[in-house]
């Protein structure tokens, strides 16, 4: 059985340095949500010398556009979206202090290089398990770009939000390692 690490946000370099590919992680604390349209707006703010709607230092952005909540629920299903759409924006957010990203799918070489340079990790959430993931989300507030609907930036309070480290700060890639294993 692989190691399970419990993390509380915000993340520090010291914590990030301990995370290696393949490690299962349970996150408790705050996650921020954003998809491509919100990422573009966030990067535009940074590039224009303006403040972001939240302090990104040490934070994790979850690539999700949660479905509306049914009555009595905090959120609807909240599964990860494909991360590659955020690749044009992720390096700039890492420069600003972001320490983690959650999504699904491979990342570009530029993003992997930026993770090494800025000490940021990429976690994968389980695709297809949106309703299960939603159970670890305890509170959700829209904090920016409400006009984007489900893709607005949200602050999520989570408890034992389960992910796996796919890219660490050492340039390792769990997807690549997995493919190598089966090529033999």
Catalytic residues: 39
Q: Strands, E, within the chain: which ranges? A: 4-8, 24-33, 60-62, 100-103, 121-124, 137-144, 153-167
- According to DSSP, the β-strands at 60-62 and 24-33 are parallel
Strand partners, 5: 25
Count of positions (residues) in the chain: 184
- Rounded to whole angstroms, the Cα distance separating 24 from 103 reads 14
* Dihedral angle sign, alpha carbons of residues 124, 168, 109, 114: positive
């Amino acid at each position: 059985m692989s190691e399970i690490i419990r993390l509380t946000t915000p993340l520090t370099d010291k914590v990030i340095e301990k995370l290696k590919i393949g490690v299962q992680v349970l996150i408790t604390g705050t996650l921020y949500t954003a998809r491509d349209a919100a990422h573009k707006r966030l990067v535009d703010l940074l590039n224009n010398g303006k403040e972001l709607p939240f302090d990104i230092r040490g934070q994790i952005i979850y690539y999700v556009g949660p479905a509306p909540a049914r009555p009595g629920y905090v959120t609807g299903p909240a599964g990860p979206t494909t991360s590659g759409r955020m690749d044009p924006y992720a390096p700039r957010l890492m420069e600003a202090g972001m320490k983690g990203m959650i999504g699904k799918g491979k990342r570009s070489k530029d993003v992997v290089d930026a993770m090494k340079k800025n000490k940021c990790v990429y976690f994968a959430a389980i695709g297809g398990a949106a309703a299960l993931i939603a159970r670890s989300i305890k509170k959700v507030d829209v904090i920016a770009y409400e006009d984007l609907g489900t893709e607005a930036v949200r602050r999520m309070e989570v408890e034992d939000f389960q992910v796996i480290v796919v890219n660490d700060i050492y340039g390792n890639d769990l997807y690549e390692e997995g493919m190598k294993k089966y090529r033999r």
